[in-house]
Amino acid sequence: MATVLVVEDDEFVRSAIIHELDRRQHAVRSAGCALDALREISQRPPDAVILDLGLPDLDGSEALRMVRGISDVPVIVATARDDEAEIVRLLRAGADDYLVKPFSGDHLSARLDAVLRRARSAPAPQTLRVGGLVVDVGRREAALDGGALSLTRREFDLLAYLAARADRVVTRKELLAEVWRLSYGDDQTIDVHLSWLRRKLGESASRPRYLHTVRGVGVMLSAPR
């Protein structure tokens, strides 16, 4: 069983695909346009995406490029045209597989199982270690001195971002852009999350162990000496 996001504007096709996936015990979500799909993928990452290339808001290859900008989720593109050059281009642009419409439920299911199998057997993304802190980026788990940390999604993203840049000062502006994906915003948002993260790491701003504030610049994660 997997969570599959079906991106298709044609209601008839969409419900047919949903029905097929549902019958095979997958958890299915759907979106009718590329922007809704991007929101879904960033907020509740699915295990795989079936992406129709003829969407009302974005051209298929543009939609694929934007999905790849935010996620490595397996994507099967569904196209009405059996155009080899186009399909090769999409595979090169990051699609994992393709289906030419109309396709059967069995065909869809076989392709989906294959991309899921490949994704699951892929080597796990790196594990970051800073002193007694271990951040497993793939499983989104973190532990300190062997004890699991219970972090919110944002706290985890923040910790992982800093751990990947250990011993380097990261500016608030960079955190805002890379962790919050905002081009501008309030430093307080970051400070609040940093203070929550500090508490979970069992330290405080006045007695830091891992998280060091560099006044006026940003923050640095480094192992206690």
The answer to whether the bond into 102 is cis (omega within 30° of 0) is: yes
Cβ neighbours for 18, distance < 8 A, ≥ 6 positions apart: 6, 28, 30
In the complex, least distance from residue 212 CB atom to Ca ion, rounded to whole angstroms: 51
Distance, CA of 126 to CA of 135 (rounded, Å): 9
Q: At what angle do helices 153-163 and 187-200 cross, to 10 degrees?
A: 90
Q: Are 22 and 30 in contact (CB under 8 A)?
A: no
By CB under 5 A, residue 47 contacts Ca ion: no
- The residues with which 29 forms a beta bridge, in sequence order, are 5
Q: Encoding tokens for residue 168?
A: 């380097």
User: Which lies closer to Ca ion via its Cβ, residue 10 or residue 174?
Assistant: 10
List 32, 50, 51, 52, residue binding Ca ion (CB under 5 A): 52
What is the enclosing helix (H) or strand (E) of 102?
A: none
By CB under 5 A, residue 54 contacts Ca ion: yes
Task: Count the site residues for Ca ion by CB under 5 A.
Answer: 4
By CB under 5 A, residue 36 contacts Ca ion: no
In the complex, least distance from residue 44 CB atom to Ca ion, rounded to whole angstroms: 23
Distance, CA of 212 to CA of 30 (rounded, Å): 43
The residue assigned the tokens 């500090």 is: 198
Stretch that binds Ca ion, among 2-10, 109-117, 152-160, 209-217 (CB under 5 A): 2-10
In the complex, least distance from residue 55 CB atom to Ca ion, rounded to whole angstroms: 6
In the complex, least distance from residue 13 CB atom to Ca ion, rounded to whole angstroms: 7
By CB under 5 A, residue 45 contacts Ca ion: no
Stretch that binds Ca ion, among 9-17, 20-28, 160-168, 210-218 (CB under 5 A): 9-17
Residue nearest to Ca ion (CB): 54
Residues that bind Ca ion (CB under 5 A): 9-10, 52, 54
